[in-house]
Chain A
Amino acid sequence: MPGPFPYSGMDDDRRELLALLAEDARQSTADLARQTGMDEDAVEDAVDALEAEGVIRGYQAVVDWEAVDEERVEANVELNVELDRETSYEDIAGRIAKFPEVETLKLVSGDYDFALEVAGESMRQVSFFVSERIAPIPEVTQTVTHYVMTTYKDRGIEFREGDDDDRLSVSP
């Protein structure tokens, strides 16, 4: 079904689709088409291309684990490493990223090199993972582990009761 409005340029469409999907990845192709003025086939093709090119790496729910009756411990881990002639940041990152316990891994500026988010079922499990799996990597010189005590906001979404819409139901 063609959308009624002309749109200009592939780049704008792709940017617009990314903005929409980054906001809510569960929207239907039809709704993406309606909001952008693209037709549905064009939306499908553009999203396929974004996925194939590795621009879109996945779609996940933002979960407030504290609201779930399940043991889950998260920690932010700061990592210092020492590079040698044969080893780059990329090499080390490649090894660390393989562990499923590591949810995010970023190279950062400042006092340490890598910032990790690690999750496990208990503090013991996370501690064990850091001390037995991460720390022994030859290039790693130091780890500092911060256990997450509570999460207020994740990926742009605040974890609290939504504000009621207190606008008048009909106004001029």
Chain B
Amino acid sequence: MRTSSLAEDIPPSGIRKYFELAEEEDDVISLGVGEPDFSAPWTARRAAIDSLEAGKTSYTTNRGKRELREAISEHVTRYGHEYDPDSEILVTTGVSEGVDVAMRALVNPGEKVAIADPSYLSYGPTAELAGGEPLPVPTSADEEFRLTYDALERAGADEASLLVLCYPNNPTGATMDERHLREVADFCREHDLRVLSDEVYAALTYGGEHDSIATLPGMRERTVVFNGFSKAYAMTGLRLGYAMGPSDAIDAMNRIHQYVMLSAPTTAQYAAIEALESCDDQVEEMTAAYNRRRNFVLSRFEEMGVECFEAKGAFYVFPECPTDDAERFAEELVQEEGVAVVPGKVFGEAGEGHLRVSYASGMDELREALDRFERHVNRITA
């Protein structure tokens, strides 16, 4: 069938190749996975099952069940947020949908959308689908992949109308605390940028609190914050997220959401209400487990002499590739040792020369995978 030029122009996802390579091999341990190895807490799953048994299979209101929006409004106070459940929160089908409708609701054709680089894959394509022009803002290992005032200036982000940031970051695991966010906020106010802040990994911040740019002076009115249940509550497949922002932005997003999605999945909303009400302990346990694995992986890389900054968020570390060609390294690592990782460049030019290593796997797998990684490094650098 004839397809649109819009669809034709979407570049293929760079991750596909590495998925196919991993699928070709037997006995692969994957450190290339972008989702938790845990299952959603049992009480949340139980709430979803109960809702199905009770026949709760109809739509919800466009913005999501009010009970859920109230629970979200209460929950996010821990990050210093205050959002009105009636007018400032939109429940979406994952953060992915939230980002898509935000791009469409906030970007005019031809406007530049500055995106911290490297970042999760969807921001560029969704900006383009909205008629915007993605403008990568390179971050670097020297700055531990934080976004800086200088980097924004160098990239010409003053001409952008919107800035997308994702901290804790996928793929680097980088975090930004208030001190670092302040200069980004200064830049946004000075150059009148609005902000999409994807904070889906907020709960997975180690050794400190998560800070949100929206809580800095003068930022709430120009920021839409995204969060969701996929990472913290291990509910990726239930597809549930939310957006919070000024009511005019949320209204505009809802006008699009009502036609493209109508409402987020009802079953998932029941699970999410329960997750917010009763699953803090499990999130804490999962976070503690991730933190131990993070320490383990960072220690192993240090023992191998592989350069890796101390990533303090999400479930990724972002070591420098021990060889010049990270794409080739990743390819050979999966073919020869059966360990899958993703080259950093897949997530943007600034990821070049690095590898995204996910530690969302059990300790036994991590142990074995890093032994294999070490063997591979020793072989090719001998």
Residue positions of A touching B, CB distance < 8 A: 1, 3-5, 16, 19-20, 24, 27, 31, 33-37, 163, 165, 167-172
Contacts and interface: CB of A to CB of B under 8 A. Distances in A.
Contacts of B292: 16, 20, 35-36
B288 A19 contact: yes
Nearest to A35: B292
B30 A169 contact: yes
A165 B37 contact: yes
Contacts of B342: 170
Given A3-B299, A170-B340, A172-B15, A35 B32 contact: no
Contacts of B107: none
Contacts, number: 72
Given A5-B299, A5-B310, 11 more contacts: A31-B296, A31-B367, A34-B295, A34-B299, A35-B295, A37-B295, A167-B30, A169-B33, A171-B32, A172-B13, A172-B121
B35 A171 contact: yes
Interface stretch (B18-26, B137-145, B157-165, B190-198): B18-26
A4 B298 contact: yes
A16 B289 CA distance: 10
B276 interface: no
B298 A170 contact: no
Nearest to A34: B299
Contact of A172 (B30, B120, B300, B302): B120
Enumerate the 6 nearest inter-chain pairs by beta-carbon distance, A residue then B residue, closest first. A34-B299, A170-B32, A35-B292, A170-B19, A169-B22, A171-B34
B33 A168 contact: yes
12 contacts: A1-B303, A3-B299, A16-B292, A20-B292, A31-B367, A34-B300, A35-B296, A35-B363, A36-B295, A170-B19, A171-B34, A172-B122
Q: How large is the interface on B (under 10, 10 to 19, 20 to 34, 35 or more residues)?
A: 20 to 34
A168 B19 contact: yes
A125 to B, nearest CB: 38
B22 A167 contact: no
B125 to A, nearest CB: 11
B237 to A, nearest CB: 9
B18 A170 contact: yes
Contacts of B367: 31
Contacts of B296: 31, 34-35
Nearest to B121: A172
A31 B371 CA distance: 12
A169 B18 CA distance: 9
B293 interface: yes
B246 to A, nearest CB: 29
Contacts of A168: 19, 33
A165 B28 CA distance: 12
Contacts of B35: 167, 171
B299 A170 contact: no
Contacts of B19: 168-171
Contacts of A35: 292-293, 295-296, 299, 363
A5 B295 contact: yes
Contacts of B295: 3, 5, 34-37
B316 to A, nearest CB: 11
A109 B107 CA distance: 65
Contact of B30 (A4, A27, A34, A170): A170
A29 to B, nearest CB: 13
Contact of B37 (A16, A37, A167, A170): A167
A3 to B, nearest CB: 6
A160 B23 CA distance: 27
A27 B363 CA distance: 10
Contacts of A171: 15, 19, 32-35
